[in-house]
């Protein structure tokens, strides 16, 4: 006689209604943040060839694009400037009339309810493409912190809703928090790129922001092999006053996400980066995967690992997909 199982998990998978009732992880429109690339001194959108469907937006079309994003159900955006006024320190990023400040003002004026997040770094604004001040062929951590303080104050004065420092400088959260609080912006939250790896998945982003970056960022971004260090970095940022933690990239670092979630009660974000997006697009174009199914499964993996927020170029698609049939 064949032994029968004492418990049958399949009982709760028998119908779609049963599966829906017992689902443990959900996606919501509130989960997603859309990155936008804004280029100055252009008059029409520039397609990013390595990221099908993603463009550099002319500054003059940003207001219309923000309104479109809002009408499509996405409630948060993160801004990346493509500057034509680069120098060795990225000073345009803290100029009150510079590209970053202008974009914040445009976005907030277009849709005041939109959550506007600034990506706070220098790689898009420096002529060398690194994330701060160069000294002796490396990024000078503390000199960069001084400029970062100036940058976040400029963003706050422009009306930004959230600061998101991505440069992986030691002490960046404490420096930012001190600057914001001293200047009267204690209400502005900080979402830290707290565990950001020196990853090969960033390749298409270089095209997106027109970066002339050379070399590596291994001295300030994290070694992909060091999971315990990644946890320590995020815990340090929490101790310094970060309001939200982030892991970047996403799918190759689900273990890091889960480890941080086990040690922190703060909201946790993940960035599904350009290379992850481009790989899905390429596989879908080759006809070897179901794009929608893969994207939804990936988003569920992020949520299941412990993320609350997901930065993704699929944000608008996802809101429409889950509103219809997910």
Q: Are 160 and 115 in contact (CB under 8 A)?
A: no
Contact between residue 79 and residue 117 where contact means Cβ atoms under 8 Å apart: yes
Residue keyed to tokens 């590209």: 99
Rounded Cα distance between 39 and 37, Å, is 7
The Cα 156–Cα 169 span in angstroms is 20
Strands 32-39 and 244-248 turn out to be unpaired
Helices (H), 159-290: 172-182, 203-208, 227-240, 254-263, 274-285
Q: Dihedrals φ, ψ of 169, to 5°? A: -85, 140
Backbone angles phi and psi of 70, in degrees to 5 = -65, -45
| Phi–psi pair at 41, nearest 5 degrees | 65, 25
248 is catalytic: yes
Catalytic residue among 75, 108, 248, 303: 248
- C-alpha closest to that of 149 among 185, 183, 176: 176
Residue 120: its H or E element:
strand 115-120
Of 196, 214, 281, 292, the active-site residue reads 196
Question: Which contacts (CB < 8 Å, 24+ apart) does range 283-290 have?
Answer: 285/52
Known catalytic membership, residue 196: yes
Say how far apart CA 245 and CA 265 lie, in whole Å: 10
Any idea which residues carry the catalytic annotation? 196, 248
């Amino acid at each position: 006689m064949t032994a029968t199982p004492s418990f049958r998990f399949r009982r709760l998978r028998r119908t779609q209604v049963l599966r829906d009732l017992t689902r443990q992880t959900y996606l919501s429109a509130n989960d997603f943040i859309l990155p936008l690339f804004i280029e100055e001194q252009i008059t029409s959108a520039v397609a990013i060839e390595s990221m099908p469907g993603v463009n550099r937006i002319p500054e003059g079309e940003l207001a219309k694009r923000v309104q479109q994003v809002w009408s499509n159900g996405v409630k948060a955006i993160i801004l990346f400037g493509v500057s034509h006024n680069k120098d060795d320190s990225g000073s345009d990023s803290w100029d009150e009339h510079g590209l970053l400040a202008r974009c914040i003002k445009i976005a907030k004026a277009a849709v005041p309810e939109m959550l506007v997040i600034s990506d706070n770094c220098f790689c898009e604004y420096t002529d060398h493409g690194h994330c701060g001040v160069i000294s002796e062929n490396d990024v000078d951590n503390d000199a960069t912190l001084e400029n970062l303080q100036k940058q976040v104050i400029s963003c706050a004065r422009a009306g930004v809703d959230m600061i998101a420092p991505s440069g992986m400088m030691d002490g960046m959260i404490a420096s930012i928090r001190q600057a914001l609080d001293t200047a009267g912006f204690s209400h502005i939250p900080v979402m830290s790129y707290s565990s950001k790896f020196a990853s090969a998945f960033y390749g298409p982003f270089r095209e997106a922001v027109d970066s002339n970056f050379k070399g590596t960022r291994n001295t300030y971004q994290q070694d992909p092999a060091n999971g315990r260090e990644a946890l320590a970095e995020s815990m340090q940022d929490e101790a310094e006053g970060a309001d939200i933690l982030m892991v970047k990239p996403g799918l190759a670092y689900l273990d890091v996400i889960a480890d941080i979630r086990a040690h922190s009660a703060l909201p946790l974000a993940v960035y599904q980066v350009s290379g992850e997006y481009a790989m899905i697009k390429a596989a879908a174009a080759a006809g070897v995967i179901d794009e929608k199914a893969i994207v939804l499964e990936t988003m569920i993996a992020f949520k299941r690992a412990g993320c609350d927020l997901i930065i993704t170029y699929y944000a608008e698609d996802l809101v429409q997909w889950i509103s219809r049939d997910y």
